[in-house]
Amino acid sequence: MAATMPPSIAIRHPCDTPAMPSPASLPAYLDAVPASQRALLETIRAAARAAAPDAEEALYYGMPALRVGRRWLVAYAAFSAHCSLFPLGGALLDAMADELGRWRTSKGTLRMTAADPMPAALIAAVVRARIAEVAAADAARREARRRSSGSSPAARSEEHTSELQSQS
């Protein structure tokens, strides 16, 4: 029988520990953020909201996030030693690698501290790039659907008109 490690002994990096338990609402999350992280989190939030004024704020896996319709743009969170911005998808971080270099810590995370915050203009650029990425993906999806339907709406309309004329 294989030995298992009790959950109380599980090894975790202190920076990966959330600053608080998962909240029930966005205001509850923001109210519970420790003062040491609150100013930085508010900077991230304000820059993201300014770049996406039509986006809705909601919780995404317990983190504050912005979405347009059903498509998530970015999420952000406070941790015990830093705050993170999560552009939720695509090759955005690779495309902006030069600008994001020192804040990028993993495949989908931009990590910053109060001592080394990401400029609000750069946060806004990430959000705008994510909006463009979502719009391009939606357009590609619509085009693929249109192609898979067999013909264009105009061609289907002409076919329908021809059928009606042949029936008379």
The three state secondary structure string of 6-25 is: CHHHCCCCHHHCECCCCCCC
CA distance linking residue 116 with residue 29, whole number of Å: 23
Collapsing DSSP states into helix, strand and coil, what is residue 95? helix
Give mean pLDDT, residues 84-91: 86
Q: Is the pTM of this model over 0.85?
A: no
Asked if 110 contacts 119 with a C-beta cutoff of 8 angstroms, the reply is: no
Q: What is the pLDDT of residue 156?
A: 57
